[in-house]
Amino acid sequence: MTENRYVKAWLDEVVALVKPKQIVWIDGSEEQLAALRDEAISTGEMEALDSEKLPGCLLHRTAPNDVARVEGRTYICTKNQVDAGPMNNWMETGEMKKKLIPLYDGVMADRTMYIIPYCMGPIGSPFSKVGIEVTDSIYVVLNMDIMTRIGKKALEQLGDSNDFVRGLHSKANVEEENRYIVQFPEENSIWSVNSAYGGNVLLGKKCFALRIASYQGYKEGWMAEHMLILGIEAPNGETSYITAAFPSACGKTNLAMLIPPEVYAKQGYKVWTVGDDIAWMHIGDDGRLYAMNPEAGFFGVAPGTNQKSNPNALATTRRNTIFTNVAKDVDQNTVWWEGLDKNPPEHAVEWTGKPVNGKEWVAEGKKLAHPNSRFTAPAVNCPCLSKEFENPNGVPVSAIVFGGRRAKTAPLVYQSFDWAHGVFVGSAMASETTAAATGAVGVVRRDPMAMRPFCGYNMGDYFGHWLEMGKKLGDKAPKIFNVNWFRTDEEGHFIWPGFGDNMRVLMWILARCRGEVDAVETAIGYLPKAEDINLEGIDGVDVETVRGLLSVDSQLWLEDAAGVEELYAMFGGRLPAELAKQLADQKARLSR
């Protein structure tokens, strides 16, 4: 399908290694994809759902030991360990290949090898980048079709260039003990083996668009971030764009698709989604920062998604969507998950495939859907998709927002003093862990810029790159903020209602960007006056509640600073001096 000699040479090597029974190029045609769907349905790999309620939708269950990203088995391999940095698992490139080659040797002898050319970013954009993923999984092909722009058009975008990411995936035998997700940023390649789940195997997503791309951005002067992109359109038709970095399962999809509360809707405000997980950001010709979404679909968390919390996401999943590890409603031939409604199906199949009485199951406190069950849905389905979604240059960013799950420390919102302080704020992020990665849930860990699992090089250098970008942007730099929707009361309930009401906070952020509202200067940054958060029509929150949500406990913040100090110590000489200074200044302000 291509005459590109670099592609052909690489594929020759791959074929010699995995020794496939058959090779199929994915051209992106609907006929080919339809045939693959039929094949997956006939083998039981996928189940077709009700053709009227969920047209074109499929259900897939992964192996129960293969339900999330595996950070402990994810590696950044470079020649020298210092280039991967202290926050990544590392092995020397050649050593890792020695370890992996036996796992791939002949692994496709009785399987079809699919070759998926794909493009991250709109076809034709100078900022888009091409990858080729080889895989033995139809599930991967069908997901990549939704999440990226696949087929001939991606090869056309590549032309005869050598600038493509080589992705080699085999589900092999889905053995946990031989599962590896390995990035080789210095040679633009990714090797993934023994998994068949989401972020481990859809190589365009975390592996390329974050881990490899963050390194490319460092080398080439742009940024790849774990960020949503949304636009807020004012009644006068002007749209301002915000990007936000929250750790996995901390609310990016929900914020990106929010429904404005009545108080804003009636005035004519609208919210548009450009992206829900990844932003590639460049400095535009006018000197401003522009963000583009390299993906073409949403791989979103299913549990908690409902008609009230996120009607746009729900609507997005009503056609041509793949559901992974959710429960099946047998009578309706539809899907169900915790938080969809209060009515679990009686005739259910829980996420591992066992037929159960769903009502009893849930009453016993057991989960019908896996907490990290997901939908893969085409962006074009989204009722609030921005008309700038395909803009080859992306959208200009007014504000960058960091955030995480913090039960106590972080206030509802605050603004950094300037860009460099904002980089400090991002670097100091911490959040309670979620089901998006295997391991304990609810443990606070430091997660700088929500990139801890996704930075493809030394994070000390990554901080330096952020500071450099700020210098280049100068006074055109977006303003940097931090939010926390997850403060809890004594009983552990969330105090802030969240979801659509988060727009009230975004409106304060935009007012700050335009210099339209005052703030209170504190040790950690600029905080809103409680009465400047619009509470018209909100449920169960008054100005006193907001005052509480905005409180800053210096003692807790000094303890947090000690955590940042520990984090920074890991980087040794690779920590930018500016950040050490920011930390010292913040401690001094807190101790005053």
- Positions in 244-263 near ligand GTP (CB under 6 A): 246, 248-254
Contact with ligand GTP (CB under 6 A) among 197, 215, 499, 571: 499
Which of ligand GTP, ligand SPV, Mn ion, none does 254 bind, CB closer than 5 to 8 A by kind? ligand GTP
SS3 134: strand
Q: Does residue 576 contact residue 460 with C-beta atoms inside 8 Å?
A: yes
Q: Does residue 190 contact residue 212 with C-beta atoms inside 8 Å?
A: yes
Q: Does residue 167 contact residue 192 with C-beta atoms inside 8 Å?
A: yes
CA dihedral 529, 533, 538, 540 (to 10 degrees): -20
Contact with ligand SPV (CB under 6 A) among 2, 157, 248, 316: 248
H or E element in which residue 323 lies: strand 322-324
Is residue 275 near ligand SPV by the rule CB under 6 A? no
CB of 300 to ligand SPV, least distance (A): 8
Neighbouring residues of 556: CB distance < 8 A, sequence distance ≥ 6: 408, 409
Contact with ligand SPV (CB under 6 A) among 205, 282, 421, 479: 205
The stretch among 123-131, 199-207, 238-246, 570-578 that binds ligand SPV (CB under 6 A) is 199-207
Is residue 436 near ligand SPV by the rule CB under 6 A? yes
Q: Does residue 243 contact residue 226 with C-beta atoms inside 8 Å?
A: no
Is residue 10 near ligand SPV by the rule CB under 6 A? no
What are the structure tokens assigned to 129, written together?
């980048």
Burial of residue 331 (CB within 10 Å: 0-12, 13-18, 19+) is exposed
SS3 419: helix
Both ends of the chain: CA-CA distance in Å? 67
Residue with tokens 């080398």: 219
> Which residue number, 131 or 275, has a Cβ lying nearer to Mn ion?
275
Alpha-carbon distance of 426 to 424, in angstroms, equals: 5
CB of 248 to ligand SPV, least distance (A): 3
Is residue 427 near ligand GTP by the rule CB under 6 A? no
Size of the site for ligand GTP (CB under 6 A): 22
Which of ligand SPV, Mn ion, ligand GTP, none does 125 bind, CB closer than 5 to 8 A by kind? none
> Which residue number, 199 or 470, has a Cβ lying nearer to ligand SPV?
199
Is residue 198 near ligand SPV by the rule CB under 6 A? yes
* Per-residue three-class SS string for 404-428: CCCCCCCCCEEECCCHHHHHHHHHC
CB of 484 to ligand SPV, least distance (A): 18
The stretch among 42-50, 265-273, 498-506, 560-568 that binds ligand GTP (CB under 6 A) is 498-506
Is residue 276 near Mn ion by the rule CB under 5 A? no
Length of the chain: 592
In the bound state, the residue with its beta carbon closest to ligand GTP is: 498
Is residue 436 near ligand GTP by the rule CB under 6 A? yes
CB of 432 to ligand GTP, least distance (A): 11
Angle, helix 577-591 to helix 459-473, in steps of 10 degrees? 90
Which of ligand GTP, Mn ion, ligand SPV, none does 494 bind, CB closer than 5 to 8 A by kind? ligand GTP
3-state class percentages of the chain: helix first, strand second, coil last, to nearest 5: 35, 25, 40
The stretch among 115-123, 273-281, 303-311, 378-386 that binds Mn ion (CB under 5 A) is 273-281
Catalytic position from the list 57, 119, 207, 250:
250
Contact with ligand SPV (CB under 6 A) among 75, 246, 272, 299: 299
User: By C-alpha distance, which of 289, 317, 290 is closest to 303?
Assistant: 317
Contact with ligand SPV (CB under 6 A) among 37, 61, 69, 421: 69
Contact with ligand SPV (CB under 6 A) among 121, 185, 199, 525: 199
The stretch among 180-188, 269-277, 539-547, 549-557 that binds Mn ion (CB under 5 A) is 269-277
What are the structure tokens assigned to 99, written together?
């370890």
SS3 274: strand
Would you call 57 a catalytic residue per the annotation?
A: no
* CA angle (462 as vertex; 456, 466 as ends), nearest 5: 135
H or E element in which residue 60 lies: strand 58-60
Angle, helix 93-104 to helix 5-18, in steps of 10 degrees? 60
CB atoms within 10 A of CB 455: 26
Neighbouring residues of 164: CB distance < 8 A, sequence distance ≥ 6: 6, 7, 129, 130, 131, 132, 158, 188
Alpha-carbon distance of 239 to 365, in angstroms, equals: 44
Is residue 304 near ligand GTP by the rule CB under 6 A? yes
Q: Does residue 273 contact residue 386 with C-beta atoms inside 8 Å?
A: yes
Is residue 60 near ligand SPV by the rule CB under 6 A? no
Amino acid at 518: D
Which of Mn ion, ligand SPV, ligand GTP, none does 297 bind, CB closer than 5 to 8 A by kind? none
Contact with ligand GTP (CB under 6 A) among 119, 172, 301, 400: 301
CB of 43 to ligand GTP, least distance (A): 28
Q: Does residue 377 contact residue 321 with C-beta atoms inside 8 Å?
A: yes
> Which residue number, 353 or 494, has a Cβ lying nearer to ligand GTP?
494
> Which residue number, 435 or 590, has a Cβ lying nearer to ligand SPV?
435
> Which residue number, 248 or 545, has a Cβ lying nearer to ligand SPV?
248
Active site residues: 250
Residues of this chain that interact with ligand GTP (CB under 6 A) are 246, 248-254, 276-277, 300-301, 303-304, 309, 436, 485-486, 494, 498-499, 502
Residues of this chain that interact with ligand SPV (CB under 6 A) are 69, 198-199, 205-206, 248, 277, 299, 436
